[in-house]
Structure 1
Amino acid sequence: MRPFWLEQALQADPSEQCPPLQGEVRTDVCIVGGGYTGLWTAIMLKEQNPELNVLLIEADICGAGASGRNGGCALSWSAKYFTLERLFGVEEAVRLVRESERSIHAIGEFCEQYGVDADYRLDGTLYTATNRAQVGATDAVIAALERNGINSFSQRPLADVQRMAGSAKHLEGWFSPAAASVQPGKLVRGLRRVALQLGVKIHEGTAMTGLEEGRPARIHTPGGKVIADRVVLAMNAWMARAFPQFERSVAIVSSDMLITEPRPDLLQQIGLTSGVSVLDSRIFVHYYHNTPDGRIMLGKGGNTFAYGGRMLPVFDQPSPYAGLLKRSLADFFPAFAEVKIDATWNGPSDRSVTGLPFFGQMSGAGNVFYGFGYSGSGVGPCHMGGQILAALVQGLDNPWTRSPLVNGPLGYFPPEPIRYLGSLMVRNAIRRKERAEDHGRRPRHLDVRLAKFAAAAGKADKG
């Protein structure tokens, strides 16, 4: 059984699976991974250089990973401004915030240009507080954005916030129009269709079993081999297992989601009638939005951590945190407390030390490129990732290839078992801290200190 979004997308577009690779083929560019990053890269390469031979292999079907099961919140990097400034300086931080907002609009323009029905709605986002401790948490970053002329947020009166968000649980809110919501499965399957239309050769059911670096590079698969002048590794969370040098560059952590049955009558009743993405100010945030057919999707990040970057069986199963998600749904929306839940699911996200993705080239021959580490916020930024990787593949000299984002990992987690045990310790401290704050109590000093390890990289897992 596929996750809800992907299952729904496959029912709407039951096109046949692309055949697995058989035998030996030669190509200009081989892309490994059929999610947002790989497909955006393939599409941009063909749009910019139609004569280029581009071949993409995917171990399962396109969209089977995070791209077909995320929360569908296409958000900018505005909330990450302090991290961007600390790592890259003011000028690049400002550029990246602007580019991240531009990508939100570009996804909508792409859907319109190619007739992709991805339920794209440019209805903005609300960053809110849901307890007294969260009130004012967004003030500093908003002030910094304003200072640098890139602020798209405005604070809304409380009555407007609660009306827009459909819930009286919110105590304050900042609204930005520079955000969208999408049906993730429909978007990734639409990207697949357009890639094929542009001449990209796709082989699904084709895992990479080995990579021989060199000029040309050789990508081995169960049924054959790809000989390629250039290679793009767009495997996201799977990179940590495939290449030992990246094992400590990300931590694999789940984001868990539920979706209700369609109840447009109740959405009208509570006032949640637009596609606005709503996020609270926790470290591992709650996030939600409605769907055009009258459902509520609600998710929460930071739940299951994987030891050693392994792909756990639970990532392909209904969420083990379904009870927690249902309680959160009832807490936000009492009117939905007894509404049927049509599905729960989860999936692995590749959480980097900084909370930002990173890109680079890993071959002595200089022709193998990679990008991953979206940290649970990839719907919008994967469009930027496609621009970066397409520019690197073509050897361009532009702001993307000069960006410090292309310098590889910007930090490493400790080795196992320290990373795993430390992750659980920080996660549990965050849970205790936020439980205390929800009940109006002062959290323990140790929990506050431990929570800062996660807070330093910004909110996690909302895309």
Structure 2
Amino acid sequence: MSQPSVYPSVSPGDPSWWFSDALRAEGGEKPSPSLSGQITVDVAIVGGGFTGLWTALALRERAPQLSIALIEASLCGSGASGKNGGKVHGYWASLAGMAANIGADGALAVARAGTRAQDAIRAFATVPGRDVWWRESGNVRVSAAPAQDAKIQLYVETAKRLGVPDTAQALTPEQVADYCRSPVFRGGLYLPEGANVHPARLARALRKAAIEAGVGIYENTPMTGLTPGSPNRIATAAGEIIAREVVLATNIELAKRPEVSRHVSVFSSYALMTAPAPEKLAAIGWNRDQGLADLRMFVHYFRKTVDGRILMGSGSGPISFAGNTKNPALTTDRASAARAEKGLRRLLPGFADVPVEKVWGGGIDVSSDRLPFFRTVAGTRIHYGAGYSGHGVNPTYMGGQCLASLVLGVKDEWSTLPLCTRDVPKLPPEPFRAVGGRLVRWGIIGCEEAEERGVQAGVMMRGAAAIPKVFGLRIGTR
């Protein structure tokens, strides 16, 4: 039965359902003090999300003699780290694209590093007393339209060709239904590496662990300026940090920097959280803890929570011009919110009458080859990590390790990964990047929606969707 839109409006600055729940679990907002005055440390980290916090913990573990200060513009975990879907997995599902971009050996190295990250996050998340809703049962990708069927075989054949057949297992429609029943689910794919977590509670747990490890954390302290030098100087509204090493872990804000902007576009993703309906989950047979996603390029990603809700996300939000991180469309686009809700009603019609309690949006830094990259700014001791491309919970642990290795100046298993060493392709300059990206987005959304209706998209939509492939780009290619 068709349902009218029931989602709440989205407003800039609104926290995600995750972050509001995490603060409730802590007994309310209790921020660390903001920075006042001048301090001197060995390492200054800008950004209190997953990347910054994992970096701080990695440095405390590897070089406990270093003094570390971390500043966060708002509250730790309130940004992208507390807004995502909370699906935790590495890069086995990305083998085909990685092999084409960085070669088979590089793809396997990154995927195996992701498995090390998965092991480390599990170890952190399952420490007694850390209630971060860790549930591990793999991931299932489902075909939800005939045009998506062929992608299943690509996953399976790539895993076999690279000698890792157990990382991607084809599922029949009957096997998919054993995980979750839907009238639109067809065949699918089971990926053994996969877990779900409460992302904001994980971020807050990392914050607590960093404070206990001796990291100085200053919340509500945005960076207002950065002067490179020996040492570097970070300015804030009421203070200054003098530091030999600086780590920039500020997600889409890095798109403003020239060494990053040529390699990333600022997209957006929207997600919703339903009211609890455990009886509905039981009715569709979703009794295990795997996360699910369809096989669109602008993917629908969905998972359940421990209290019987469903999160549904859609990675199809607007593209910002010239990396403008203040563009309200990144957080308030009602059409994108509606696509997330439409995905919920279509993919899981058993939830057609379950209210949506919260909708939120946020920017994502999509790199030119969809992989993150970690670098040191030439001639400085300023390090940064960018380009997670909407896939952050597992890779941010990898990012923390890579950035710690760059800070320490060591050549190891992390700093020699392609994430730190490959040549990242350049994107077209503006205005071609944003205008072209918006045209391609329009074409792909139109084609994928037509495919789900069982019809062919118009010639203009198909032409727009084909632009990246025609010009040999690695971003936006279906």
Smaller-chain TM-score bracket: over 0.9
Q: Where does residue 305 of structure 2 map in the other structure?
A: 291
Aligned match for 1:179, one of 179, 184, 194: 194
Q: Where does residue 313 of structure 1 map in the other structure?
A: 328
Mark the CA change 1:102 to 1:314 in structure 2 (over 3 Å): closer, same or farther: same
Q: Deviations over 1:324-362 (max 9, x none)?
A: 322221212222111111101110000111111111110
Gaps of 5+ in 1: none
Question: How many pairs align?
Answer: 458
Q: Deviations over 1:139-177 (max 9, x none)?
A: 123212222222312122312202313423111111122
Gaps of 5+ in 2: 1-13
Q: Distance in 1 between matches of 2:474 and 2:86?
A: 21
**Residue 351, structure 1, aligned to residue 361, structure 2:** no
Q: Where does residue 425 of structure 2 map in the other structure?
A: 411
Mark the CA change 1:377 to 1:328 in structure 2 (over 3 Å): closer, same or farther: same
**Residue 120, structure 1, aligned to residue 134, structure 2:** yes
Deviates more, 1:390-399 or 1:37-46: 390-399
* RMSD of aligned Cα (Å): 2.0
Q: Where does residue 52 of structure 2 map in the other structure?
A: 38
Mark the CA change 1:319 to 1:188 in structure 2 (over 3 Å): closer, same or farther: farther
1:169·1:332 contact (CA, 8 Å) conserved in 2? yes
1:279·1:285 contact (CA, 8 Å) conserved in 2? yes
Give the 3-state SS of the residue equivalent to 1:209 in structure 2. strand
Q: Where does residue 21 of structure 1 map in the other structure?
A: 35
Q: Where does residue 4 of structure 1 map in the other structure?
A: 17
**Residue 58, structure 1, aligned to residue 72, structure 2:** yes
In the TM superposition, 1:259-298 aligns within 5 A as 259-298=273-312
Tell me the CA shift for residue 15 of structure 1.
Answer: 5.6
Q: Distance in 2 between matches of 1:172 and 1:457?
A: 27
TM-score (normalizing by structure 1): 0.94
Tell me the CA shift for residue 444 of structure 1.
Answer: 4.4
Q: Distance in 1 between matches of 2:369 and 2:116?
A: 22
Tell me the CA shift for residue 273 of structure 1.
Answer: 2.0
Q: Distance in 2 between matches of 1:220 and 1:114?
A: 39
Mark the CA change 1:31 to 1:433 in structure 2 (over 3 Å): closer, same or farther: same
Q: Where does residue 450 of structure 2 map in the other structure?
A: 436
Deviates more, 1:138-147 or 1:171-180: 138-147
In the TM superposition, 1:5-404 aligns within 5 A as 5-13=18-26, 14=28, 16-113=30-127, 115-151=129-165, 152-241=167-256, 243-311=257-325, 312-317=327-332, 320-365=335-380, 367-404=381-418
Report the identity percentage: 36
Mark the CA change 1:289 to 1:186 in structure 2 (over 3 Å): closer, same or farther: same
For 2:184, the aligned partner's letter is K
Mark the CA change 1:434 to 1:111 in structure 2 (over 3 Å): closer, same or farther: same
Q: Distance in 2 between matches of 1:25 and 1:57?
A: 12
Q: Deviations over 1:158-217 (max 9, x none)?
A: 122023134231111111220111111111111111111111110111111111111111
2:93·2:155 contact (CA, 8 Å) conserved in 1? yes
1:276·1:289 contact (CA, 8 Å) conserved in 2? yes
1:114·1:194 contact (CA, 8 Å) conserved in 2? no
Q: Distance in 1 between matches of 2:151 and 2:101?
A: 21
Q: Distance in 2 between matches of 1:433 and 1:318?
A: 21
Q: Deviations over 1:368-419 (max 9, x none)?
A: 1111110001111111111101111111111221223224761222222221
Tell me the CA shift for residue 443 of structure 1.
Answer: 3.5
Deviates more, 1:112-121 or 1:391-400: 112-121
TM-score (normalizing by structure 2): 0.91
Q: Distance in 2 between matches of 1:383 and 1:454?
A: 31
1:118·1:187 contact (CA, 8 Å) conserved in 2? yes
For 1:109, the aligned partner's letter is A
